[in-house]
Structure 1
Amino acid sequence: MNIAERYVRLAHGIDTHVQHFIDGYSGPPQWADRTRRAPAALLQETQDFLQHVEDVPDAGRREWLRTQGQAMHTHARLLTGEKMPFAEEVRGIYDIDPLTAPLDELDAALKTFEDALPGTGSATERLERLRDRVSLDNADVLRVAEPILHELRRRTADLYGLPAGENFTIHLVTDKPWGGYNWPLGNLQSRIDINTDFPVALPGLPGLLAHEGYPGHHTENAHKETELVRGRGWQEHQLQLLYSPQSVIAEGIATNALDLVMPETEVQAWLTGELAQVAGLDPQDIIAYLQATKAREDIKHVSGTAAVMLYQDGSNEDDVVKFLKHYNAVNEERARHSLSFIRHHRGYVYTYSVGQALVKKYVEHKGQAGFGELLKQPVTPGMLANG
C-alpha cells in the first residue's frame, strides 16, 4: 500500500467519527474506506502511518504528510477520550498556536472604530444602519457577482495562471454558520455557496469571491490538482482535510487573495464606481462603510479569544455572546451566529488569523512569485513560520 493510499484510508476512518473532517475527495473510490474503526485502532493506524511517512524520499512531501499525520494522531488521541488543554489541541491539529487579544487593546481598537461610524446611537445600531445601506437584495447577488468574477479571473490568470478546464458554480444558501464556502469537487471543479442568512454587503463581495474563487480556494485546489496530483502523482492532494494544517495554508491564501490581485485603492475605486452603479447603491454610503471597515482592522482575534473563553476558561455561552456582541459591535442574532461557527469548528477559527499572518509575511518577503508558489506547492504552517 503506497503512502497516499494509507493517508486517504486513515482520513476516511477518522471522518466516520469527526463530522466534516473530509472537505472533499476525488481520488480512487476504493480508497475511501469508511469502515468504522474503534478509536484505539485509529490511534495505532496513525502511529503506523507516521512511521511509513519517514520513508518518503521527497523532503517537502515528507514534511507535509508528517504534519498532516500528526493532526490525525491528535484527532485519534481525542477520540480515545484523552483530555488535553485547548491550546495543545490547536497546536496538535493545526500546527499553530491560538492567538487571543488583551482586553485593553480591544477596548482601544473598539473606540477607534466607534469614532469612525457615522450617525448617532450605539455602535451596533450605527453599523447596522450603514450595512443596510450597502447590502444587496438576494435576487441581485449573482448578477452583481458576474463582473466581479470576470475581473478577478482575468487578473488571476495574468498573474498566476489558471489550469485549462477549471471552473466553478455559485449557489445561494441559507441556515449555515459561515458566510461563504468552497466545496472542492475534483477534476478542477468547485461549488461555491454564499450564505444569505444575513444580507450580502457589496463592499465585502469582491473579498468573498476572491477568497472562495479567484485566486483563493478554487484556484489553489485547481493548481495543486494539476501540479501535484497530475504532475507528480501525489494522490494525497485529491483529499482536502478541514481540521488539519492544510486549512491554515488554505485560509491564509484565501484571506490574502484579493490583495494579491488588486490593490486596496483600486478596490475602493471599483466599488464606488462601476460596482456601485451595477448594484444601484450610493457611492457615499460605500465610502463610509469602507472607512468604518478600515478603522475596524485593529479589532483582532475576537473569535479566537471567544474560543479560549469557551473551551479553555469554561465561560458560559451567554458570556461569550456578550463578548462577541460588544467587540464585534453586532446584535444578538449575529453574535449567536458567530458562536455557532465557534461551536461547530472549535480551533478552526485560528486558521484565518494565523494563516493570514503567515502568508502575508511570506509574500512580503517573496513577492507575488511567493504567492504563486503557495498556490502550487505543499507547505505547512511550521515551514512558513520557520522561514
Structure 2
Amino acid sequence: MTDLVTRYLQLGLRLGRVEEGLVDVYFGPPELAEAVAAEPAPTAGRLAVQAAELLADLPDGWLRDQVSGVRAYTGVLAGERLTFAEEVAACYGVRTEFTDESVFATAHEQLSELLPGSGPLGDRFRAWRTSQVLEPDRVEALARAAIELGRAWTERLVELPPGEGVELALVRDVAWSGFNEYQGDLRGLTSINLDHPRTALDTLHLVLHETYPGHQAERVLKDHLLVRGQADLAETLVLVPTPQSLISEGLAELALDLVVDGPGGAEFTAALGVDVRHALAVERAIQPLRWADVNAAIMRSDEGRSDDEIRAYVRRWGLLDEEQAEHVLRFMSAPGNRTYLAVYPAGRELCRGYVNGDLARFRRLLTDQVRVSDLDDPR
C-alpha cells in the first residue's frame, strides 16, 4: 500500500467520524481503522486542509477524483458556501440544472395515457400502485428468487469469484427502504424494509439494484479483481460524496433495464411468475419525475423555500403521496444527503448513455475503476 493510498484511507475514515454515514463501505486493513478511531476527534476544517494537501501530491486519475470530492464536501461542512449545482459538480463530477417543468408535464401526459380514468392523475397513479402491492410473504419469495436469477444473469456476463454471496434480511421499524451492506470477504447483506408497500416491479428494482447485477456484484468483483488481484486498497473504501458513488448508483439503477427490460427479460420475469410489462411502461414514463426531487432540493438549498413548499412541489410534479414527500424532505435535510438526491438520476443517465446497450461496457463499470470523464469516451 502506497503512502498516498494510506493517506486517502485515513482521510476517508476521519470523514466518517465527522459525519455518520459518509463511509458507505470499508473493508481495508483493520489496524488503520483502529488507529483512526483512537485519534482525537477530527474537524471538517482540518480534513479540508488534509484533502487539499493530498490533492497537491496526487497525479490526475481515479484516486484524485475521489479526493477532490472529499475536499469539496469537507469544505462545505467547514462553512464554505456553494450552490447546489456547484456542490454536485465538485463532489461528483457532473453538473445539474433546474429541470424545466414542461418535462414533468409531458411525463404526466404519457402516464395519463397508461392510467386512464377520471380524477386527478396523482390519485389515479397512487390508486394503481396500491392495487399492485404485494403481501410481505410474496415480497420475500420474489426477492429470494430474483437474487438467484440476477446472480445467474450476472454470471453469464462476468465470472463471479468462488465463495461470494449475499444474505437477505427482512426488517421492520427502520427509516430506510432497503440497502446492501458489503461485509468484506466477498459477502453482502441485503435488507428489505417490509413496512414499505412494494409492488412486484418495486421488489425487482430494489433487489437487482442492491444485489446482482448492482451493488453486490460490483463490490465482489472489485474486491476480487482490484483489491485481491492488484493489491489496490483504495477500493476497500467507498465514500458517499465522491464520483465513485455516482457511478455505483448509476450502474445499479441500470440493473432493472438490462435484466428485466432487456433481451431475455420476458423469460426472466416468467421464471419469477410475474407479469410486469405494464408496470415497466409506467416506470419508463415516470423516470423524468426523479428530477422533480432534485428541483426541490435546489429550491430549498439555493432559494430558501419552506418545507411546506417543498412538500407541495414533489407531490405535484413527482406524484408522491404525503408519506413519500415527507421522506424526500427528511432525506434532503440531512447534511450528507443534501446533494445525493442528484446522484440517482444523474448517475443513471450517464451510465445509460455510456453503456447504450453494450454489455461489455456495463461489465467494465462492474469491474474497473471508471472515472466520470470516461463515461463520455466512446472507446
TM-score computed with the length of structure 1 as normaliser: 0.89
Instruction: Tell me, yes or no, if the aligned pair for 2:204 and 2:256 is still in contact at 8 Å.
Output: yes
Equivalent-residue separation in structure 2 for 1:108 and 1:379 (angstroms): 34
Q: Which runs of 5+ in 1 are unaligned?
A: 55-61, 278-282
Q: For residue 363 of structure 2, what is the aligned residue in structure 1? A: 372
Q: In the alignment, residue 22 of structure 2 is paired with which amino acid? A: F
Q: For residue 123 of structure 1, what is the aligned residue in structure 2? A: 121
Among the aligned pairs, what percent are the same residue? Answer: 29
Q: For residue 355 of structure 1, what is the aligned residue in structure 2? A: 347
Correspondences of 1:148-297 after superposition (within 5 Å): 148-176=146-174, 178-264=176-262, 266-267=264-265, 271=269, 273-276=270-273, 287-297=277-287
Equivalent-residue separation in structure 2 for 1:291 and 1:373 (angstroms): 28
Instruction: Tell me the SS of whatever aligns to 1:120.
Output: coil
1:175 to partner: Cα distance: 4.9
Q: In the alignment, residue 141 of structure 1 is paired with which amino acid? A: V
Q: In the alignment, residue 30 of structure 1 is paired with which amino acid? A: E
Inter-CA distance 369–314: structure 2 relative to 1 (3 Å threshold)? same
- The correspondence for 2:58, drawn from 30, 44, 53, is 53
Equivalent-residue separation in structure 1 for 2:282 and 2:368 (angstroms): 36
1:340 to partner: Cα distance: 2.0
1:276 to partner: Cα distance: 4.5
Instruction: Tell me the SS of whatever aligns to 1:191.
Output: strand
Instruction: Tell me the SS of whatever aligns to 2:222.
Output: helix
Inter-CA distance 145–213: structure 2 relative to 1 (3 Å threshold)? same
Instruction: Tell me the SS of whatever aligns to 1:378.
Output: coil
Q: In the alignment, residue 229 of structure 1 is paired with which amino acid? A: V
Instruction: Tell me, yes or no, if the aligned pair for 1:135 and 1:201 is still in contact at 8 Å.
Output: yes
Q: For residue 29 of structure 1, what is the aligned residue in structure 2? A: 30
Equivalent-residue separation in structure 2 for 1:197 and 1:75 (angstroms): 33
Q: In the alignment, residue 161 of structure 1 is paired with which amino acid? A: E
Equivalent-residue separation in structure 1 for 2:152 and 2:90 (angstroms): 39
Instruction: Tell me, yes or no, if the aligned pair for 2:354 and 2:361 is still in contact at 8 Å.
Output: yes
Inter-CA distance 372–294: structure 2 relative to 1 (3 Å threshold)? closer
**Residues 41-50 or 65-74, more deviating:** 41-50
1:297 to partner: Cα distance: 3.4
The yes-or-no answer on 1:107 pairing with 2:105 is: yes
Equivalent-residue separation in structure 1 for 2:191 and 2:149 (angstroms): 19
1:287 to partner: Cα distance: 5.0
Instruction: Tell me, yes or no, if the aligned pair for 1:90 and 1:98 is still in contact at 8 Å.
Output: yes
1:269 to partner: Cα distance: 6.3
Q: In the alignment, residue 56 of structure 2 is paired with which amino acid? A: Q
Instruction: Tell me, yes or no, if the aligned pair for 1:169 and 1:191 is still in contact at 8 Å.
Output: yes
Across the aligned residues of Structure 1 and Structure 2, the Cα RMSD in angstroms comes to 2.2
Instruction: Tell me, yes or no, if the aligned pair for 1:178 and 1:341 is still in contact at 8 Å.
Output: no
Q: For residue 58 of structure 1, what is the aligned residue in structure 2? A: none
1:49 to partner: Cα distance: 1.4
Inter-CA distance 364–8: structure 2 relative to 1 (3 Å threshold)? same
**Residues 71-80 or 256-265, more deviating:** 256-265
Q: For residue 9 of structure 2, what is the aligned residue in structure 1? A: 8
Inter-CA distance 197–122: structure 2 relative to 1 (3 Å threshold)? farther
Q: In the alignment, residue 310 of structure 1 is paired with which amino acid? A: R
Equivalent-residue separation in structure 2 for 1:125 and 1:40 (angstroms): 47
- The correspondence for 1:41, drawn from 43, 46, 49, is 46
Equivalent-residue separation in structure 2 for 1:248 and 1:177 (angstroms): 22
Q: For residue 319 of structure 1, what is the aligned residue in structure 2? A: 309
Equivalent-residue separation in structure 2 for 1:257 and 1:69 (angstroms): 28
Instruction: Tell me the SS of whatever aligns to 2:207.
Output: helix
Inter-CA distance 127–292: structure 2 relative to 1 (3 Å threshold)? same
Q: Which runs of 5+ in 2 are unaligned?
A: none
Q: In the alignment, residue 27 of structure 1 is paired with which amino acid? A: G
Instruction: Tell me the SS of whatever aligns to 1:229.
Output: helix
1:342 to partner: Cα distance: 2.2
1:176 to partner: Cα distance: 4.9
Instruction: Tell me, yes or no, if the aligned pair for 1:156 and 1:261 is still in contact at 8 Å.
Output: no
Equivalent-residue separation in structure 2 for 1:242 and 1:29 (angstroms): 20
Instruction: Tell me, yes or no, if the aligned pair for 1:206 and 1:258 is still in contact at 8 Å.
Output: yes
Q: For residue 307 of structure 1, what is the aligned residue in structure 2? A: 297
Instruction: Tell me the SS of whatever aligns to 2:81.
Output: coil
1:207 to partner: Cα distance: 2.1
Instruction: Tell me the SS of whatever aligns to 2:356.
Output: helix
The yes-or-no answer on 1:384 pairing with 2:375 is: yes
Instruction: Tell me the SS of whatever aligns to 1:338.
Output: helix
Equivalent-residue separation in structure 2 for 1:177 and 1:19 (angstroms): 15
Instruction: Tell me, yes or no, if the aligned pair for 1:43 and 1:76 is still in contact at 8 Å.
Output: yes
Instruction: Tell me the SS of whatever aligns to 1:77.
Output: helix
